[in-house]
Structure 1
């Protein structure tokens, strides 16, 4: 009555159901784990230049340069269900035209087995810190935040912010870049 294909199909469906249940059970073991760790950010150098912006109207825009130190121990985040972390440092500030501006300044991927203790000194921002106007010069409260995405073996991709933010302000005077 039951053919070989029918029995193979039943066995395959049962195996998939068991594997799905086991994967879900493994996910639940780490789903509610706190993935935040303390982060220490020190800003050692801050500079702003007013440069020509070639991406839009021919106006000048602020370009910020930040040099920072970053200290964090990411070891408590890693467990059997973490493949890698995608770290990124953002600068958040508000201007007259936008209540929230977020700019990614630096990023790094930390794989399982890599050195999980970050002790970075005098790191320059990896990406340009452009404002779409003169918002950096006028802003007195810019917050640097280290965040990370946890890439698991099974489950959701949580976005976590490190505890310990750093506020910075650009200097009153700024350099005007020469047009060539």
Structure 2
């Protein structure tokens, strides 16, 4: 005869096995759902380089860039019944100076200028919002498990959340700068997935997510 403890261990082991199998099947359903994100517009609208203290905790003055941009993108296909939230961010990238110039050995400089977390209706209770905004968001999502309209981004002359600096303290008059849109899908069950450089099955790459090249201007003096 098995003891009560052994029976409890067997029941718990069976439960965890079933839970793991169900979770694996749920995660596999993401491969069935097509992902066809697209970008209509991604461009800088105003670029400035200022010399000063970019943050209140900065110990010295340095050059930093402020980039306003416009973005139109359709990421609605990334929202499925297994999507918890979508992390979207825009980076500014430019090639590093040639070796020997003291700018480091990185092939490309990359800095985040804006980001946003878009929750699905089933995860609105996790949104980091104020009580009034959260109440409105939850009310608008009642009865919905998927809300594709949340994946529609339309930003006009958007102010950046973050200013760009460089370890050298100089960033003005840099050429071949581009903006790039990225996303990260965070599911309820399964692996985190990012935008890819090539198609994988029904998952299509995020096309036209890179802006045309532009340059950082000369330093703008504060009035």
Q: TM-score, normalised by structure 2?
A: 0.69
Q: CA–CA distance in 1 between the matches of 2:87 and 2:214?
A: 27
CA contact (8 A) 1:85 1:109 kept: yes
Structure 2 residue runs of 5 or longer lacking an equivalent are 98-102, 122-146, 197-205
Q: CA–CA distance in 2 between the matches of 1:108 and 1:18?
A: 35
Q: Structure 1's 141 and 33: CA in aligned 2 closer, same or farther, altered over 3 A?
A: farther
Q: Which digits, 9 at most, give the CA deviation of each residue in 1:23-68, with x for residues without a partner?
A: 1122122147664611221221112223368857x6x632111111
Alpha-carbon shift at residue 169 of structure 1 (Å)? 2.2
CA contact (8 A) 2:174 2:217 kept: no
Aligned-CA RMSD value:
2.5
Find the counterpart in structure 2 of residue 101 from structure 1.
109
Find the counterpart in structure 2 of residue 89 from structure 1.
90
Find the counterpart in structure 2 of residue 132 from structure 1.
167
Q: Structure 1's 78 and 3: CA in aligned 2 closer, same or farther, altered over 3 A?
A: same
Q: Which digits, 9 at most, give the CA deviation of each residue in 1:99-145, with x for residues without a partner?
A: 22111100100000362211111111111112333653232111111
Please give the secondary structure, in 1, of the residue aligned with 2:162.
coil
Aligned counterparts, 1:108-147, within 5 A: 108-113=116-121, 115-133=150-168, 136-147=171-182
Q: Structure 1's 2 and 127: CA in aligned 2 closer, same or farther, altered over 3 A?
A: same
Q: TM-score, normalised by structure 1?
A: 0.83
- How many matched pairs? 176
Please give the secondary structure, in 2, of the residue aligned with 1:141.
coil
Of Structure 1 and Structure 2, which has the larger fraction of its residues in helix? 2
Structure 1 residue runs of 5 or longer lacking an equivalent are none
Please give the secondary structure, in 2, of the residue aligned with 1:80.
coil
Q: Structure 1's 125 and 168: CA in aligned 2 closer, same or farther, altered over 3 A?
A: farther
